[in-house]
């Protein structure tokens, strides 16, 4: 089992107290290509079960994991005489919901999943989140093994133990902390990942290195553009990049694990890896077509770098190094929706999730070091925004991030259908309907804020009447 709970009972003056702790034991394996018959480790895990149940995603609109890898996986398990039962789910954010969850539960049920038998989950953060949550719930807790196939999956989603799904328009509203038994990390999957997804994931590596690892930062400065264009050395003829890529990947994961493992339930709120994640949750969902996560966090980080420079925490050369790297790989550095209203509302929203403090992670004197700011006034936020926009306009006139918006692959349906459904509003959660939330506040609510009634109506531009669930 990947986790075990034990507790003891103590007598108290008024009754009893149960005191316990959960023991966790889960492993990461660097094996590549994981589905090559020369690598028997994964197959050996399934030998005792005499079969493997696999959950994987397939898309109607773009490249997908089942379409590309199902045959290879079938061959792999056939080589070891292990029969496979497939559950192919629809990928995309609109399918990160209860229907997909139920679909996976039905599959486990009809196949008669045996206690302790681990379900094999193959795919990006979407599949590992929703299938992981189904495993967290099935018979109260079932085992699973993850094989992430996107850069976000490899260095972020599959490093964490968070699983979950969306409820209507509310992102990740239902979920659990549920560790898998094993995670197989194989970066050769990046070979087939669309470049927009590779760029998206690179923003998370930039995040980790900016505030927590100077060596990874320096490697990204040197090779960032080539890495994105060549799938981190996995495109043909780019093998010379593999050594740098491997160092970045392994160190990045190592830093994430070391920073987050003492705080797996995220009760500690000064989180280095929250750099870039203060204003971006609201910003990501504000445009009609949402921004890709990596672009939204990069705008948040770029603004933070302007702030760090303005406060004397970074010098001009360091600021320029940041902007040169992120623009060379095509990440967004500003957006028309990133305006005064958004920055004030999003700051209030994020503070409620951080016990009333700002806790803004920001590089401290050099890349790889981090401090937390708690004293930024609305005036300073707005003044910094002016400085940021003026700098971007002057230094990078006409620059726009490449593939900045989600596409059918991220959504699970084509963008026009998505927009039509969005305007129809029938999928609006009760909290939004009841409180008449709109505009930037709607995005803040979708990202995690709770609208509060008062007069009952929150209107665009009104500040103060928003709170966020802890
Ligand atoms: N649990 C966590 O801590 C955590 C962290 C970050 C993100 N997430 C979640 O992850 C989700 C996003 O995941 P993602 O960015 O990995 O995207 P994704 O899983 O939606 O995959 C993006 C697209 O790439 C395709 N794809 C995946 N691997 C491929 C490959 N190797 N080759 C070709 N195509 C491939 C998918 O079919 C899909 O079309 C979000 O729902 C987010 O909330 C969770
Ligand atoms: Zn993120």
| Collapsed DSSP state (helix, strand, coil) of residue 259 | helix
> What is the number of residues in the chain?
470
- Chain-centroid distance, C-alpha 150: 11
Ligand 1, atom nearest to 127 Cα: 19
What does the DSSP assignment read for 46-63? HGGGTSEEEEEEE-SSS-
Nearest CA to ligand 1 atom 26: 64
Q: Which residues of the chain have pLDDT under 70?
A: 1, 453-470
Domain ranges across the chain: 27-192, 195-395
- Cα 208 to Cα 225, 253, 273: the distances in Å are 17, 9, 6
What's the CATH fold of domain 27-192?
Rossmann fold (3.40.50)
Helix (H) or strand (E) holding 467: strand 466-468
- What is the predicted pLDDT for the residue at 268? 79
Spatial CB neighbours of 12, under 8 Å, sequence gap ≥ 6: none
- Tokens 């990928």 locate to 91
DSSP letter at 231 equals G
Report the helix count and the strand count for the chain, using DSSP H and E.
17, 14
Q: Which tokens sit at 240?
A: 């010379």
* Tens digits of residue pLDDT in 406-445: 999 999 999 999 998 888 877 888 888 887 788 899 999 9
- The minimum-distance atom of ligand 1 relative to the CA of 201 is 15
In sequence order, the 6+-apart residues with CB closer than 8 A to the CB of 227 are 202, 220, 233, 241, 244, 245, 248
Omega before 394 within 30 of 0, i.e. cis = no
Ligand nearest to the CA of 180: 1
Q: How far apart are CA 309 and CA 390, in angstroms?
A: 14
Ligand lying closest to the C-alpha of residue 156: 1
pTM comes to 0.95
* pLDDT at residue number 453: 56
With a CB cutoff of 8 Å and minimum separation 6, the contacts of 307 are: 362, 373, 376, 384, 388
Look up the CATH superfamily of 195-395.
Dehydroquinate synthase-like - alpha domain (1.20.1090.10)
Whether 124 contacts 151, CB under 8 Å:
no
Q: What is the pLDDT of residue 421?
A: 84
Question: Cα(211)–Cα(238) distance, rounded to whole angstroms?
Answer: 28
Following DSSP, what letter does each residue of 109-178 receive, concatenated?
HHTTPPTTPPEEEEESHHHHHHHHHHHHHGGG---EEEEE-SHHIIIIITTS-EEEEEETTEEEEEEEE-
Cα distance between residue 65 and residue 125, in whole Å: 12
Residue 319 has which token pair? Answer: 């600021």
pLDDT given for residue 1 in this prediction? 66
427: phi > 0 → left, psi -120 to 50 → alpha, else beta; which?
alpha
Please report the pLDDT score of residue 387 as a whole number. Answer: 98
Mutate to test the pocket of ligand 1, among 58, 66, 129, 201 (most ligand atoms within 8 A of CB): 129
State the distance from the centre of ligand 2 to the C-alpha of 157, rounded, in angstroms. 9
Residue located via tokens 């990069």: 298
Q: What is the pLDDT of residue 139?
A: 96
- What pLDDT, on the 0 to 100 scale, is given for residue 455? 44
Question: DSSP 3-state assignment of 331?
Answer: coil
Question: Which residues make beta-bridge pairs with 164?
Answer: 175
- C-alpha 365: how far from chain center: 27
Determine the distance separating the centroid of ligand 1 and the alpha carbon of 390, expressed in angstroms: 34
């Amino acid at each position: 089992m990947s986790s075990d709970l034990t507790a003891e009972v103590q007598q108290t003056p008024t009754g009893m107290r149960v005191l316990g702790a959960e023991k966790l034991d889960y492993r990461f394996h660097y094996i590549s290509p994981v589905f090559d018959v020369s690598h028997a480790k994964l197959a050996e895990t399934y030998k005792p079960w005499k079969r493997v149940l696999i959950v994987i995603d397939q898309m109607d609109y773009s490249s997908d994991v089942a379409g590309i890898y199902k045959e290879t996986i079938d061959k792999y398990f056939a080589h070891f005489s292990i029969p496979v039962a497939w559950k192919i789910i629809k990928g995309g954010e609109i399918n990160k919901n209860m229907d997909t969850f139920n679909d996976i539960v039905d599959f486990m049920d009809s196949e008669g999943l045996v206690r302790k038998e681990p379900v094999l989950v193959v795919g990006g953060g979407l599949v590992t989140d929703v299938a992981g949550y189904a495993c967290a719930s099935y018979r109260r807790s079932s085992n699973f093994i993850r094989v992430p196939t996107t850069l976000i999956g490899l260095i972020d989603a599959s490093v964490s133990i968070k699983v979950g799904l969306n409820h209507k328009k509310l992102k990740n509203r239902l979920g659990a902390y549920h560790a898998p038994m094993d995670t197989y990390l194989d970066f050769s999957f990046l070979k087939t990942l669309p470049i927009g997804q590779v760029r998206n994931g690179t923003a998370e590596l930039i995040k980790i290195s900016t505030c927590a690892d100077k060596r990874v930062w320096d490697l990204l400065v040197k090779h960032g553009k080539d890495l994105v264009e060549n799938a981190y050395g996995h495109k043909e003829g780019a093998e010379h990049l593999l050594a740098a890529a491997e160092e970045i990947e392994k160190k990045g994961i190592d830093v994430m694990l070391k920073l987050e493992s003492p705080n797996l339930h995220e009760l500690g709120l000064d989180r280095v890896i929250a750099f870039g994640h203060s204003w971006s949750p609201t910003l990501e969902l504000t445009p009609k077509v949402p921004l890709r996560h990596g672009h939204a966090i990069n705008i948040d980080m770029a603004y933070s770098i302007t702030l760090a420079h303005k406060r004397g925490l970074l010098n001009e050369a360091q600021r320029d190094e940041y902007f040169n790297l992120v623009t060379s790989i095509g990440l967004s550095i500003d957006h028309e929706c990133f305006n005064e209203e958004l920055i004030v509302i999003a700051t209030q929203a994020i503070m409620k999730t951080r016990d009333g403090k700002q806790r803004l992670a920001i590089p401290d004197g050099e890349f790889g070091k981090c401090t937390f700011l708690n004293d930024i006034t609305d005036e300073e936020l707005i003044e910094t925004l002016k400085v940021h926009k003026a700098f971007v306009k002057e230094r990078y006139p006409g620059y726009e991030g490449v593939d900045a918006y989600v596409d059918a692959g991220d959504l699970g349906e084509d963008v026009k259908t998505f927009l039509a459904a969005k305007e129809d509003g029938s999928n609006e959660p009760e909290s939004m309907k009841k409180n008449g939330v709109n505009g930037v506040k709607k995005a803040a609510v979708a990202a995690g804020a709770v609208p509060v009634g008062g007069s009952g109506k929150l209107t665009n531009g009104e500040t103060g009447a928003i709170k966020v669930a802890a």
